[in-house]
Amino acid sequence: MSSNITLEQLQRNLRTKIFGKRIFLSSTVNSTSDWAKQLAQTGAAEGTVTLAQTQTAAYGREGRSWASPAGGLWFSIILRPRNRASEAAKLTFTASLAVAEVLREQYDLKAETKWPNDVLVNSRKICGVLAEMNTTNEDVNNVVLGVGINVNFKRSILPKSLRANATSMESELGRKIILQDLFAALMGKMEDTYQMFLNEGPAHLLKRWKTFADFLRKTIIVIESNETFRGRALDVDEDGALVLALEDGTKKRMYAGDIINLKSALQI
């Protein structure tokens, strides 16, 4: 993102009803999600977005650090769904579906959804999503949905440990992307998938999400709590759980885990 991008540029092409109607923009923050959580606690409206050029302490699932160099699209959005916490936990799928659809429709990239919270292009990670809930018992006070997309930088600038399994839009397309156009497209698509989630339920959303999930019906390797499982990915069910047919003939439902070595595992 160029340092002189403005709120007016970000909002110019928005065609949304609530998403991105209020944006907080900064050159550098620790984490856009932590920023959004603070705003949510003070009553910020649904659809409020926090966005930064770089993040110095961004994190993904299980607190893993997330590299956020200049040139990426790093933002978080405040949601206030009336769903129970068990259903709102599936909101991650609304963002990853939206990203995959925009990358395919607007940029002709063969984007794939990867359980539980990533988007891939050519079997490499291009986007991560993290949903964090604030609840009172089963009642949801708010959800902060964090999205990080590798856009205008070469994957060679990422930490060495990430390069083999990560990519960026610039690396895939060989050109820079107009970030405000990408942002506007994502806001529109995310609002659509969120409304689908609210109006038609998680099952309908997941059905659409699975049309982008290339790992399904193939043999994969999954790490869960330091245990490794190998089997055929049968489904992602209505609870958002991965259903794996293990080699011993049993089935295992997994709510969290890492699909590793995806490119080679799919050829097993």
Which pLDDT tens digit goes with each residue over 131-157?
999 999 889 999 999 999 999 999 888
Give pLDDT tens digits for 153-178. Answer: 998 888 887 888 899 999 999 999 99
* β 124-136/139-149 pair status: antiparallel
pTM: 0.92
pLDDT band at 219 (very low <50, low <70, confident <90, very high): very high
**180/1 Cα distance (integer angstroms):** 9
Q: Where do the CATH 3.30.930.10 domains begin and end in the chain?
A: 7-210
pLDDT band at 1 (very low <50, low <70, confident <90, very high): very low
Pull the structure tokens for residue 250. 């049993």
Give me the percent of the chain exceeding a pLDDT of 70: 92
Give pLDDT tens digits for 229-238. Answer: 999 999 999 9
Q: Residue 201 above 70 pLDDT?
A: yes
Mean pLDDT, the chain, integer? 91
254: enclosing H helix or E strand:
strand 251-254
- Given a contact cutoff of 8 angstroms between Cβ atoms, the answer to whether 65 and 59 are in contact is yes
Pull the structure tokens for residue 192. 């659509």
The CATH classification number of 219-265 equals: 2.30.30.100
pLDDT band at 4 (very low <50, low <70, confident <90, very high): low
For residue 37, give every residue at least 6 positions away whose Cβ sits within 8 Å of its Cβ, in sequence order, or none. 132, 134, 144
Q: How much is the pLDDT for 162? A: 81
DSSP track, 75-117: EEEEE---SBHHHHGGGHHHHHHHHHHHHHHHH---EEEETTT
**108/100 Cα distance (integer angstroms):** 10
Give pLDDT tens digits for 248-268. Answer: 999 999 998 888 755 544 444
pLDDT band at 5 (very low <50, low <70, confident <90, very high): confident
Point out which residues pair with 148 in neighbouring strands.
Answer: 74, 128
- Given a contact cutoff of 8 angstroms between Cβ atoms, the answer to whether 102 and 185 are in contact is yes
**114/128 Cα distance (integer angstroms):** 10
The single-letter code of the amino acid at 169 is M
Q: How much is the pLDDT for 138? A: 87
Instruction: State whether residue 66 is helix, strand or coil.
Output: coil
Point out which residues pair with 227 in neighbouring strands.
Answer: 224
Q: Where do the CATH 2.30.30.100 domains begin and end in the chain?
A: 219-265
Q: At what angle do helices 202-210 and 179-200 cross, to 10 degrees?
A: 130
Instruction: State whether residue 246 is helix, strand or coil.
Output: strand
CATH superfamily of 7-210: Bira Bifunctional Protein; Domain 2 (3.30.930.10)
Q: How much is the pLDDT for 179? A: 95
**58/81 Cα distance (integer angstroms):** 24
Q: Residue 50 above 80 pLDDT?
A: yes
Alpha helices in the chain (DSSP H): 7-12, 32-41, 85-88, 92-107, 160-163, 169-173, 179-200, 202-210, 262-265
- Given a contact cutoff of 8 angstroms between Cβ atoms, the answer to whether 116 and 240 are in contact is yes
Give pLDDT tens digits for 70-107. Answer: 899 999 999 999 988 888 889 999 999 999 999 999 99
Q: How much is the pLDDT for 245? A: 96
Through-space distance between the first and last CA atoms of the chain, rounded to whole angstroms:
39
Q: How much is the pLDDT for 60? A: 64
